[in-house]
Structure 1
Amino acid sequence: MQNFANKFTTYALKNSLGATATSNKITGENTTSYTFNNLDAGYYLVYVTGGKEIQSSLVTVDKDTNTVNLKTEAPSITKTADNDTVSIGQVVKYTVTGSIPDTTGYDQYQYIIHDELSNGLDFVNDKNGTALGEDATTVNVAVALKDGTDASTAPTTANLDTANNKKMSLDLSAWVKANQENNKGKEFTVTYYAKVNANAVVTEKNKAQLEYGNKPGETTTTTPSEAKTPTYPLDILKKKSGSEEKLAGAKFELYKNATDAKAGTNAITVSGSNGNYVVDSTSSTTVFESVASIDGKDYNLHLNGLAAGDYWLKETEAPAGFNKLTDPVKITITKTSDTEWTVKKNDTKEEDKIIDIENSTGSLLPSTGGAGVIVFAGVAILLVFGVAVSFIRDKRKAC
């Protein structure tokens, strides 16, 4: 019976058979049903279109009210990123997943994916981050059917908004219609790339929406599907040991592993000044320097644009008159939610997300390490040598 109803529906739609009663589009935020009134007794075919697939049922109408439950899922898409967190300069692969809707009976059908990047991202043409041309009107995309069926007839570029090149639209209307015979209902993916720029922040997010429908001017736009790719800051309070006095002139480098930090190789490149820096893969500079203060902040050195993970902070030069740290400091950034994260210093959580780095003066061994360790070791060697000489002399006298 269901098979007959489905075939009847397809025939009716393809041959434009007149309906006894039509509901047209069910609209309204909380509207999920439609009531047909004043029908003659008899058999009726009820169907719903505009979803991933057409749903239909044969029903008998008599003196009692009958209810037909047709469960159909409206077209939708989801957008995901290949990384949960990102660093400035990183290329992110985005994937939009959808399915080919059943457009039987429609003379035309609009199926358009709209995507909008946030200020911290720029469209690029491939995984290598190839930039768009200055006057580019399109960006490269790749469409694939998830079951491996050939999708080479799909568009390979999406159009950029002429007023805002962070917006693009991919019109799959013709491709969707052309795939009704063999591929309707199948899932497909659209992939494209964006590069994280210096404007990236923790709340970095971007969205994709689907516009669909069979009547121009009466299309439906889905709720945005957001892919959130936060990037994190490293805030440092450089101060005098045992005091709240902030110290300017301390120079640091940041590394992705302890081996590089100790060897002083492969430091993360940065750009900026006056205590404010960003990760910059195009820069040749690796050093960032503290200042006396940053207005309104409890820290005096800021580096933005780090993905979650472990880092090693190495002091390369201490302020004049202070001892330099002897060992790198381990920094751990962990994502806890889309907008929250934790920061640890040498595996101890910093509740305020600020890394305190203290410097001592003089020749005493500072609590955080410093040049004083060399002086201390030298004095210790001299003392041991003096004791040994004294012992030898006493022993000779005794003989």
Structure 2
Amino acid sequence: MKQAKKFASFLLALVMVFAMATTAFAAGTNSITVNDAQKGETYKLYKMLDLSVNEANTAYSYTVNSDWDDFFTNGAGKDYVDIDIQGYVTWKESKKDAVSMEAFGKAAAAAVSGKTVVATETPTADGSFTFLNLDAGYYLITSTNGNLAIVDTTPTNPAATVNEKNVDHTLDKKVQEDSQAEAEGNGWGKSNSAQIGDTVNFQTTITLKKGAKNVVMHDKMGNGLTFSGANSVKIADLNSNTTAYLTEETDYTVVTTGLTDGCDFEIRFTQTYLDSLTTDTTLTVTYSAVLNENADITAGEKNDAKLTWGEKSETEWSETVTKTYQFDVLKYAANDTEKNPLAGATFQLKDASGNVVKLIKVSNTEYRVANGDEPGAVDSFTTVDSGKIVIKGVDLDKYTLVETAAPAGYNQLKDPVDVTVLDTNALTVEVPNATGTELPSTGGMGTTIFYVVGAILVIGAAVLLITKKRMSNRR
């Protein structure tokens, strides 16, 4: 029996949802130290039960603190304690298990509104702090960081110690890459490449600890990314045997308006869902964005995510980068050793699937890939003699250039020109154009030969006439 009681006490010390500590000895001389407290979180102390101890510290009794009468007589507390006719409190043996104590802690935390706060601490650094000058009693400590701590119920301990058990949650963000060679594994990595107008898929893995409070995922996108909206958000619970998805509104909400922290959207988990967690839970949050016309060719587009909880606790930002690229087209005459730009050649740009890539004309020498059905998009571009043509917003992929019209006096290319985009943005695709073979012209050797042949024929006719005449005279 004695061992069973010790084991029950051990369970209480490990799994209590909120820190409770019991102190004894003279009034106002007791203390409770909280170890591993977290910077910026607020810890509040409530006295739930009063404690009376004899001078020899060999006998003690609990009574309900007046603030908590209703909780223990009509509220959730009545299911955990027995109160005799004299008002003395004993804990029900059937409610000393870990699950029951966890439920009691949550119920107590939900009932603190209007209760007297004995003391409040908000640490300025991670570490320990101590509530001092306390009367003997049974105390509840709440934390804005979460609702896991331990309990100390030894009445003869005037300097109780509790340990903050609200372990930090974690977050890791990745982006989907089509090329397995560039991804860290399973097609997901920290960077990818895309063409303007492409949909980019993101995956954020969150680990929520039991006892979580006020958990929010924040997502901040660069100007070159447009969030696809709440409908693109899916949250899978990886702890279940078969993939289960959280339900919007019931388990979380997606917020896109009224945000003041520079984020594009937030995912706010409901407290009802967080309270339902009985173990550490890993979630995979997937969503998408479109790479738009503002995409930065040089630096790429960043997408950052972080997790906040409690009042001031948060993870570091987890970042991905989506890159897009450019290349130049130099059209010149094949016999021009200086390769001066040649005007008047019209090309279509086609992707690896043979689809024509729509373009927006930025200037005579610059085009970029159109964002979907963007107004003003064209199917082709035409070279000019003032410089190379730069094409911006392409993927790190293979393309072809198809010449649909050659400059006047030049032969149109029969075959497409292959383009393999480089991640240096320094690719120049050189396209020489040859002129046709020069044909004979009037007044040249081409007519002289007709004159010569004509003269020979005339002379031949004259010789024939003279010969015939001489033969006639001899007769």
Please report the TM-score for the alignment, with normalisation by the length of structure 1: 0.62
1:25 to 20, 25, 38: 38
Aligned-pair CA distance for 1:250: 1.9
* Contact preservation (8 Å) 2:148, 2:164: no
Partner of 2:283: 188
Partner of 2:415: 327
CA distance in 2, matches of 1:166, 1:158: 10
Partner of 2:271: 174
CA distance in 2, matches of 1:328, 1:36: 74
1:10-69 residue CA offsets vs partner (Å, 9 max, x unmatched): 227265767731243258xxx9974789xxxxxxxxxxx9999969899xxxxxxxxxx9
Whose Rg is larger? Answer: 2
Aligned-pair CA distance for 1:6: 5.8
1:95/1:26 CA distance change after superposition, 3 Å: same
* Equivalent AA in structure 1 for residue 172 of structure 2: T
**Aligned pairs for 1:124-273 within 5 A:** 124-125=228-229, 141-146=233-238, 147=240, 148-149=243-244, 151-152=246-247, 153-161=250-258, 167-180=264-277, 182=278, 184-202=279-297, 203-213=300-310, 215=311, 219-241=312-334, 242-257=337-352, 260=354, 266-272=355-361, 273=363
1:48-92 residue CA offsets vs partner (Å, 9 max, x unmatched): x9999969899xxxxxxxxxx999963221222223211111122
Partner of 2:208: 100
Partner of 2:403: 315
CA distance in 1, matches of 2:429, 2:7: 67
Partner of 2:390: 302
State whether structure 2 residue 125 is matched by structure 1 residue 112. no
* Contact preservation (8 Å) 2:341, 2:386: yes
CA distance in 1, matches of 2:301, 2:7: 48
* Contact preservation (8 Å) 2:12, 2:150: no
- For the residue of structure 2 that corresponds to 1:9, the secondary structure is helix
State whether structure 2 residue 13 is matched by structure 1 residue 8. yes
* Contact preservation (8 Å) 1:112, 1:171: yes
1:329/1:5 CA distance change after superposition, 3 Å: farther
State whether structure 2 residue 373 is matched by structure 1 residue 282. yes
Partner of 1:130: none
- For the residue of structure 1 that corresponds to 2:215, the secondary structure is strand
Partner of 2:86: none
Greater displacement, 144-153 / 82-91:
144-153
Aligned-pair CA distance for 1:221: 3.0
CA distance in 1, matches of 2:309, 2:261: 22
Aligned-pair CA distance for 1:288: 1.5
* Contact preservation (8 Å) 1:122, 1:166: no
Aligned-pair CA distance for 1:359: 2.2
Aligned-pair CA distance for 1:197: 1.0
CA distance in 2, matches of 1:200, 1:209: 23
State whether structure 2 residue 243 is matched by structure 1 residue 121. no
* Contact preservation (8 Å) 1:52, 1:101: no
1:330-370 residue CA offsets vs partner (Å, 9 max, x unmatched): 11125xxxxxx157xxxxxxxx3222222233439xxxxxx
Aligned-pair CA distance for 1:244: 3.2
- For the residue of structure 1 that corresponds to 2:15, the secondary structure is helix
* Equivalent AA in structure 1 for residue 409 of structure 2: G
How many pairs align?
Answer: 298
| Structure 2 unaligned spans of 5+ | 1-5, 24-30, 41-123, 131-142, 153-162, 178-191, 440-475
Aligned-pair CA distance for 1:151: 2.4
1:293/1:151 CA distance change after superposition, 3 Å: same
CA distance in 1, matches of 2:402, 2:410: 15
- For the residue of structure 2 that corresponds to 1:177, the secondary structure is helix
* Contact preservation (8 Å) 1:51, 1:102: no
1:361 to 435, 439, 454: 435
* Equivalent AA in structure 1 for residue 235 of structure 2: V
Partner of 1:40: none
* Contact preservation (8 Å) 2:421, 2:427: no
* Equivalent AA in structure 1 for residue 432 of structure 2: E
Aligned-pair CA distance for 1:9: 3.2
Aligned-pair CA distance for 1:169: 1.6
Aligned-pair CA distance for 1:165: 8.6
Aligned-pair CA distance for 1:189: 1.8
1:164/1:244 CA distance change after superposition, 3 Å: farther
Aligned-pair CA distance for 1:234: 2.4
| Structure 1 unaligned spans of 5+ | 38-48, 59-68, 126-137, 261-265, 295-299, 335-340, 344-351, 365-371, 373-399
* Contact preservation (8 Å) 2:348, 2:401: yes
1:328/1:169 CA distance change after superposition, 3 Å: same
* Equivalent AA in structure 2 for residue 227 of structure 1: T
1:229/1:77 CA distance change after superposition, 3 Å: same
* Equivalent AA in structure 1 for residue 309 of structure 2: Y
1:327/1:150 CA distance change after superposition, 3 Å: closer
Please report the TM-score for the alignment, with normalisation by the length of structure 2: 0.53
- For the residue of structure 2 that corresponds to 1:77, the secondary structure is strand
CA distance in 2, matches of 1:94, 1:3: 46
